[in-house]
Amino acid sequence: MYKCFDASTVIGTLLFSLGLIFRVIGGYVFGKFADIYGRKVVLNLGTAGYSLSQLLLALSPNVFILLLARSLQGLFMGAQWTAGTVIAYENAPVSMRGIINGIVQAGYGLGYALTGLVYIFFSTNWRMFLLTGAIPIFLVPYILAKVNDVKTFRKENIKAQANISGYLSVIIRSTIVISGMFFSYYSIFAVYPEFLESIQISKDYVGFLMFLSNVLLAVSFIAFGRASDKFSKRKLIMYGVIGEMIGLPFMLAVIEQPSFITFGLLLYTIATGFWPLAPLLIVESVPIEVRGMLTGLTYNLGSIIGGIGSIIMGALVNSFGIVSAGKWGLIMGYASLAIVFLTLATWKSSNVLSRVQRSNI
């Protein structure tokens, strides 16, 4: 869509990354608000806010409004994600928290899958394409009627119980893990459809690949979530990272054949199902009174790193051409995934488990 305003690829990746960067602000500010006044009000505010921001995005008359709308969208998405994730976790039975979280996060993959499907029909009309993103505003009445908070907190309770110094290690490590997974994913997918088209993959097939891969991503989120109710989250994430490393060169067209690219993309996508487990490392490891604030801060701080990755990729592509995205994707992808793997490999699981036991409600 940025090309409709004759903007450069750098503006395109900036547009992509602004939404991620402003999510950390929304996640922290609205997460703190949710800890004091409850998750439900923030869930509603976030859903309505990002839907209306999407409407503004579709109606943008120039690049400035486009960037502003994208920033506001990120702000409210940070609010919606934080409140939605935590309220689902707190309402779920202890034995099913992993799979419930996986189902909630599967909306991410399903949303991208629908985006790929809609892209097939509206690839020539970007405003109509973006308008479809405002549809979630119709969920607000349902949330008001059906969703319940587990608990609402008072400011004095937070001050009395929010000593997080003992959780600093897990917060830092979780942030590194989340940052690495975002950096790998978004630095590549910020330009991935354009990259595929540059190596003569048709727009229709690109749309199909985005749809199929994200359907599988949603299914994989649920599968990893279910597995996390029985097995170590840390080890499951490590297995997922290995899967991504195997799929990376294929999806980035080291062998320029559609069948190999498709195989690599689907393998990478299925392996990425570990994503919902990363925020659970925080959700299960901090006091309930500050769970929204710290979950929103940590997870969305990782999105800033992802945003930086997308900007770096945009600058590289702008200098060396879109075809070079495959080479840069391999370098950036393997570097960030290696950091994630090493962080998890040196992370003593007992540090997490002791906190999980104390934080169950």
pLDDT of residue 351: 42
Is 155 within a domain?
Answer: no
Torsion, CA 307, CA 135, CA 43, CA 186, rounded to 10? -20
66 and 191 fall within a common domain: no
Is 156 within a domain?
Answer: no
Residue 176, domain extent = 164-347
120 and 223 fall within a common domain: no
pLDDT of residue 361: 42
Report the domain count for the chain: 2
Residues of the chain with confidence (pLDDT) below 70: 1-10, 12-13, 16, 108-109, 112-113, 115-116, 119-120, 122-124, 150-167, 348-361
Say if residues 78 and 300 touch (Cβ distance below 8 Å): yes
pLDDT of residue 251: 94
Please list, in sequence order, all residues whose beta carbon lies within 8 angstroms of the beta carbon of residue 181, skipping any fewer than 6 positions away: 241, 272, 274, 275, 278, 302, 336, 337, 340
pLDDT of residue 334: 96
Is 234 within a domain?
Answer: yes
143 and 168 fall within a common domain: no
Could you tell me the CATH number of the domain that includes residue 302?
A: 1.20.1250.20
175 and 123 fall within a common domain: no
230 and 294 fall within a common domain: yes
pLDDT of residue 156: 46
195 and 307 fall within a common domain: yes
Is 153 within a domain?
Answer: no
Give the pLDDT confidence of 265-318 residue by residue, as tens digits: 999 999 998 888 888 877 777 777 777 777 777 877 777 787 788 888 888 988
What is the rounded end-to-end Cα distance, in angstroms, of the chain?
Answer: 46
Of 78, 57, 195, 55, nearest to 136 by C-alpha is 55
Distance CA 34, CA 286 (A): 15
126 and 170 fall within a common domain: no
Is 157 within a domain?
Answer: no
Last residue of a domain, one of 148, 181, 209: 148
pLDDT of residue 165: 63
189 and 86 fall within a common domain: no
Last residue of a domain, one of 148, 181, 197: 148
142 and 183 fall within a common domain: no
290 and 184 fall within a common domain: yes
pLDDT of residue 166: 63
105 and 247 fall within a common domain: no
pLDDT of residue 245: 96
pLDDT of residue 3: 57
Please list, in sequence order, all residues whose beta carbon lies within 8 angstroms of the beta carbon of residue 80, skipping any fewer than 6 positions away: 42, 43, 46, 47, 49, 50
At residue 119, what is the residue type? Y
139 and 221 fall within a common domain: no
